[in-house]
Structure 1
Amino acid sequence: MSTIPGTSASGDNGYSLLGLGVQSEARSSALGQADFLHLMTEQLKNQDPLKPLDSQQFLGQLAQFSTVQGIDSMQSAMGAMASVMESDQTLRAAALVGHDALVEVDSLDLAAGASVQGEITAPSAGPVTVDIVDADGKRVRRMTVEAGAAGPAAFEWDGRDDAGNAIAAGRYAIRAVAGNADPSAEDAALLPFCVKANVDSVSIESTGLSLNLSGLGSFPLSAVRRIG
């Protein structure tokens, strides 16, 4: 049986070859191209003369190593490309600061008496009934928006209840339905609703970019329906 000299537990050379021992702290635990070729050379030098290494097996080992090296290089290139794309996206998002962003919501946190501007996606021309509901599910305001055609219909709420009093700070849900139906009904077909707010800043989160909207909080970039 053939052996590779210098690989005993007491030999430093063997441990250096395999990346083990006292030198392991200064070297990577993974075999590099030079280490692989060194091992292949030692294998050829110490093969059994009566049973030499099969040439097809040797070529197969080389092909395997080349494939792994190619995959590693491709992964590194893709990682670098992703980093560049992320940096470019961050710079583009930073240019949104100071602009108005339209984001789709079903509820939002409001300061006392704060107003809300936005759009309701109407299915057709005609009235749209809108309810403003507090965190306890109590309706504080009902409004009617007249849609001139199918598509976005402008909406504005002055932050007051049905009695004309400024609402208290808190979380409010906005429910809109076509026609004169009750938006608070369980089977109500709610319409998409978007709120407009100014972009104060941009945050880089582990899940992606987020826009910090004045009076609304943080929203992922994917939630933005329109800028300006």
Structure 2
Amino acid sequence: MTTIASTDYAALGLAQQQPARSTTLGQADFLLLMTEQLKNQDPLKPLDNNQFLGQLAQFSTVQGIDGMQAAMGAMASIMESDQTLRAASLVGHDALVSVEEVPLAAGAGLRAEVMAVAAGPVTMDVVDANGVRVRRMTIEATGAGATAFEWDGRTDAGVAAPAGTYSFRAVTGASDPSAQGAELLPIRASARVESVSIEPDGLFLNLAGMGSVPLSAIHRIG
């Protein structure tokens, strides 16, 4: 009778597949180990009741932690889904976000607000990507806090500013916003929410003309 070696089976692709073994200790495995421990213990030195109860308590604690982790994971998933639905409802609304630079199309203006420290005039410069001032405006703040303003997208000469990235520098009073060491006031720009993106590091709102910003950066929806 001819004997076929196991290597011949392997060459034919008929080698027997070994079932994958689980490395997780389940409740049944734990009880089996406990039973074997009791069966094979030294009759002269039996397992102390406190030790036995301690092992059971440890296993119960591990099971409880696993269950809590699963519950927390499910809760986090629900909260993320709820936040996504809430963020999707913002599409079509205007969002107010802190900005330092804003990419704008040719002649495109900007609706924003400056955070004044007191009532009185605020001097604001609109500066292009090369650091050249294209427009200077004076905004009258009625008090400390947000003061709305709008740039019509035109230069001091009255012509439409070219497409590019612009920054807005504002200072209290008649000081020069472009002077070195000038204490600039925060600027918040308003843009329409076009869509919502779900990224690995959270939710982002895609704003018209301003790109993507994290949801946490939004100050107000209006």
Fold similarity call, TM over 0.5: yes
Aligned residue in 2 for 1:6? none
Aligned residue in 2 for 1:22? 18
Aligned residue in 1 for 2:66? 72
What does 1:75-94 align with in structure 2 at a 5 Å threshold?
75-94=69-88
Distance 1:185 1:36 in 2: 74
Match of 2:198 among 204, 217, 220: 204
Aligned residue in 1 for 2:93? 99
Distance 2:111 2:33 in 1: 71
User: Aligned pair 1:135/2:129, yes or no?
Assistant: yes
User: Aligned pair 1:49/2:43, yes or no?
Assistant: yes
- CA RMSD in angstroms comes to 1.5
Q: CA deviation at 1:224?
A: 1.1
Match of 1:116 among 107, 110, 118: 110
Q: Alpha-carbon deviations, 1:32-81, whole Å to 9, x = none?
A: 11111111111111112232222222211111111111111111111111
Aligned residue pairs, count? 206
Distance 1:220 1:93 in 2: 11
Aligned residue in 1 for 2:33? 39
Q: CA deviation at 1:173?
A: 1.2
Which AA in structure 1 matches 2:141? A
Show structure 1 runs of 4+ deviating over 3 A. none
Distance 1:73 1:28 in 2: 19
Q: Alpha-carbon deviations, 1:168-198, whole Å to 9, x = none?
A: 2221111111111111123211111111111
Distance 2:55 2:196 in 1: 50
Give structure 1 stretches of 5+ with no counterpart.
Answer: 1-20
Match of 1:192 among 166, 174, 186: 186
Which AA in structure 1 matches 2:137? M
Distance 1:37 1:190 in 2: 69
Q: Identity of counterpart residues, as a percentage?
A: 70
Q: CA deviation at 1:215?
A: 1.0
Aligned residue in 1 for 2:119? 125
Q: CA deviation at 1:159?
A: 1.4
User: Aligned pair 1:166/2:160, yes or no?
Assistant: yes
Distance 1:153 1:170 in 2: 25
Which AA in structure 2 matches 1:215? G
Distance 1:185 1:212 in 2: 33
Which AA in structure 2 matches 1:22? Q
Distance 1:186 1:86 in 2: 44
Which AA in structure 2 matches 1:74? M
Give structure 2 stretches of 5+ with no counterpart.
Answer: 1-16
Q: CA deviation at 1:28?
A: 3.1
